[in-house]
Structure 1
Amino acid sequence: MLKEFREFIARGNVMDMAVGIIIGAAFTAIVTSLVDDLINPIIGLVTGGVDFTNKYIVLSGEVAAGTGLETARESGAAIFAYGSFLMAVLNFLIVAWVVFMLVKAVNRAKSMAIEEEKVEEAPAGPTQEELLAQIRDLLATRAA
């Protein structure tokens, strides 16, 4: 059993997956910081600082007007917290857009690198078949 476990861990797929998870976790921190520290403040500036997080409807129970969402939840009332949901959807869309733009930039950089490789490669010259066809044509012209 130990031997099987060692073989499983030593496989390339497991190591690739581990590296992907570690890089993904680090990348998540970068994207989260980008959204929270750079993009959300700009959106807040444009929208006048509107924050829907504390928007809710009391379904049952009593909550004083103007009470924050957390306090309303702690009161034991049934709360329909549509504002938190809207903010979660908005944050998801922002993060998805940022990831899309980053992936698009990486793909563009990859395609540019591939095109540069193609340009740098010198033409290989004629193939054997092309040379043989030229020799055949020359021999045919001499014979005629």
Structure 2
Amino acid sequence: MSRSQVVEVAGREVTVTNPDRVIFPEAGHTKLDLIRYYLDVAEGALRGVAGRPMILKRFVRGIGEEAFFQKRAPAKRPDWIEVATLRYRSGVSADEVVVRDAAGLAWVVNLGCIDLNPHPVRAEDLDHPDELRIDLDPVPGVDWKQIID
């Protein structure tokens, strides 16, 4: 397994760590495959996430293992990765990643983000949500048919 590979995206260098790590075992798709996929669909993906702070849902070992949620942007990140400071009712705040372009998209996918979880606000106006998102993830024991019904 190669340790890392640099991918040029939108004039930026994105380091892909463990590019040969298998993310989807049944299909054999690797982390680099997933990044290339996201780059192929970047225009559409960015319509949903660009300019919005996001919680990172990270599958660091692939889809077969449980993910964890990370609110705070990693301290070690490229200087071109933006953050927005979200303040919660509890008084806690978190600097969350704001993806602006395909390079940022590739960077969060490299962290293990298979699906993207943006907030319904824009980084420039954190106090005024401009969309409603409904998350329909089934829980154990509930299948898609029940959700559809």
TM-score range, shorter chain: under 0.3
**Normalising by structure 2, what TM-score?**
0.22
Larger gyration radius, structure 1 or structure 2: 1
**More strand as a share of residues:** 2
Structure with more helix by fraction: 1
TM-score, with length taken from structure 1: 0.23
Larger RCO (CA under 8 A, 6+ residues apart) = 2
